[in-house]
Amino acid sequence: MEKFLIEGGHPLNGKIKASGAKNAALPIIAASIMGEGKTILHNIPSLKDTETMLKILTFLGAKVKFFNNTVEIEPSGIKRFTAPYEYVSTMRASICLLGPMLAKYGKAKFSMPGGCVIGPRPIDLHLKGLKKLGVEIKNEEGYVIGKVKKLKGNRIFLGGNFGSSVLATANVMCAATLAEGETIIEFAACEPEIVDLARFLKKMGAKIYGEGSHILRIVGVRKLKGTEYTIIPDRIETGTYMLAGLITKGKIKIENCIPFHLMALMDRLEEAGIGVKYGNDYIEVEGKDKWKAVDIVTLPYPGFPTDLQAQMMAFLTLADGISVITEKVFPERFIHVGELNRLGANITLDGSKAIVKGVKNLLGAKVMASDLRASAALVLAGLAAEGETQISRIYHLDRGYEKFEEKLSKVGAKIKRVRE
């Protein structure tokens, strides 16, 4: 096991290039198996999660090459249709292979997915949508088993208790592209990663209309072809580096990003008194000695992202006043609160709300990461804290941030990875 040692109190200054979006790359890699012939994907981040997805494809029989953030996938050799527990248990997004496999091969067997411990995330919407397309599904010994002779289009409502589901939308949209007839998905997710997946599928030959809205119309086609495509930049990574610059009172410019994917974050920062400059492909932020408390409510896109909630909480621990953070996507996603308090924060929980009373300073301590975004929040807090912070179980970070400490070190962070 490895940990981070962070010497806090050093402002970050300089430029950081955003990597490709993990949450766009994974469903697009999965969808590539539906194409006839080779698919080439650019701007794929080198992460544990992308490596795991490619291992699953290799296990199934696909030929895979990964070099310099480019993936080549030739799916013609796929002869297995079971995604084993040892892969799927580490990464929830592996479930987005279910729709593509059923569409292309008519059968799939998947272990129930794992991933970060951020509260219950059932796959009932995935199964509901696929059943509407004609898939027979049963559960046996921890596996979901699906089979279908011919997918048929249908009208499907995908709303859940906490809004639309990104991965369920991805699964059903992929399956519908090869279904007979027309499919209408109501209450579809409209996240940029879903738009990216739709654009990729359309380049393969799919007929999809309405991406970016809550209603998708998909007209099934007989086959899709392999293609070449470039993944969008990662909006969550971009937001994380913005907040890293601000919490350390530095000045950071993030390049190769799409600012319009982060309007909710920029709105809250402006409310806190932070000015944000941006162009078509960059965002620049400059920290202040003081910033105001603000209230946050996480919501599906274009609302404030749940994947930036923990990082924003770290930033607000040093705000002037009291902030209230309401988590409406994953109401139990507050495991990081206890660890931030170990660093001197003043945060209390009230159900799905966190009340953050700003403090004058944070103090370095030993803390433990619990999930991917919580890990990033602890790094941000450690960068701002006085003295040394040790963060254990940082393997979570490697799932979602490419060259994290390397990028931070280049802009002035005193952070190093050591063995426990």
Q: Helical H runs in 65-106? A: 85-88, 98-105
Summarize the chain as % helix, strand, coil (round to 5): 35, 30, 35
Crossing angle of the two packed helices 372-384 and 309-316, in degrees rounded to 10: 20
Q: How many residues comprise the chain?
A: 420
From the list 377, 20, 402, the residue with the least C-alpha distance to 234 is: 20
- Would you name the residues annotated as active-site residues? 116
Q: What is the rounded CA–CA span in Å between residue 378 and residue 170?
A: 31
Q: Are 34 and 104 in contact (CB under 8 A)?
A: yes
- Amino acid, single-letter form, for residue 159: G
- Could you tell me which residues come within 8 angstroms of residue 161 by beta carbon, excluding any fewer than 6 positions away? none
Q: What is the rounded CA–CA span in Å between residue 238 and residue 226?
A: 30
